[in-house]
Amino acid sequence: ETGVTQTPRHLVMGMTNKKSLKCEQHLGHNAMYWYKQSAKKPLELMFVYSLEERVENNSVPSRFSPECPNSSHLFLHLHTLQPEDSALYLCASSQDGVRFNEQYFGPGTRLTVT
Amino acid sequence: AQKVTQAQTEISVVEKEDVTLDCVYETRDTTYYLFWYKQPPSGELVFLIRRNSFDEQNEISGRYSWNFQKSTSSFNFTITASQVVDSAVYFCALSEADRGSTLGRLYFGRGTQLTVWP
């Protein structure tokens, strides 16, 4: 495996379900990110993890819960989602979290909440 | 207010035409970084270029070229002799430091859907 991988690629879940999205990077990077891409909206940064810090967008609802057990893996735990949470969820990584590093993206998980 | 504006929602061209994608940004930082990404139908954003605020030299990479002008806060992207494989959504992004944090975050524009017809 190379680059940034995400599983599953597609997910359909009901509002009462609990599921998790997984991201893995094989680039030796130290920072990982979750983005949400909704139709007709800019990509929205949800969470950033680096070696020393975690930064989150304060507007992200608590029904989204990130977990970063190590620098190569990132999870997004989902529970009690709403239909408006349907979107493409993109994971990215960068060498570290500083602002000048380019980010490398995975293919995304297309989430549909019914 | 949006930090990155891509006014062109959709552009259609015929193969071999040149096309310019516009990007205007807004920041109060003196040091910042600008990026362009390509998102093909597969969904994965592909990094194309990074430019820091102190380097206004234009850059050319094959058929791609970028024009950075601080005076107009613009970072435009031109594809010369476009090809069908260039069809994708192109995003411009800005990185500036968050207050109280050394972590940067990318602010994306809404993207421009480019369609190149054979």
CB contact under 8 A, A101 and B105: no
Per the listing, tokens 């597609």 go with: A10
Assign A5 to helix, strand or coil.
strand
Look up residue A19 and give its two tokens. Answer: 């599921």
Q: Does B48 touch chain A if contact means CB atoms closer than 8 Å?
A: no
Q: What backbone torsions phi and psi does residue B72 show, to the nearest 5 degrees?
A: -115, 5
* pLDDT single digits (tens) A20-48: 999 999 999 988 999 999 987 888 889 98
* pLDDT single digits (tens) A61-103: 999 999 999 889 999 999 999 999 999 999 999 987 666 788 9
* N-to-C CA span, chain B: 38
Cβ-based contacts of A42 with chain B (< 8 Å): 2, 4, 107-111
Q: Are A32 and A74 in contact (CB under 8 A)?
A: yes
What's the gap between Cα A71 and its chain centre? 14
Calculate what percentage of chain B has a pLDDT beyond 90. Answer: 70
Assign A83 to helix, strand or coil.
helix
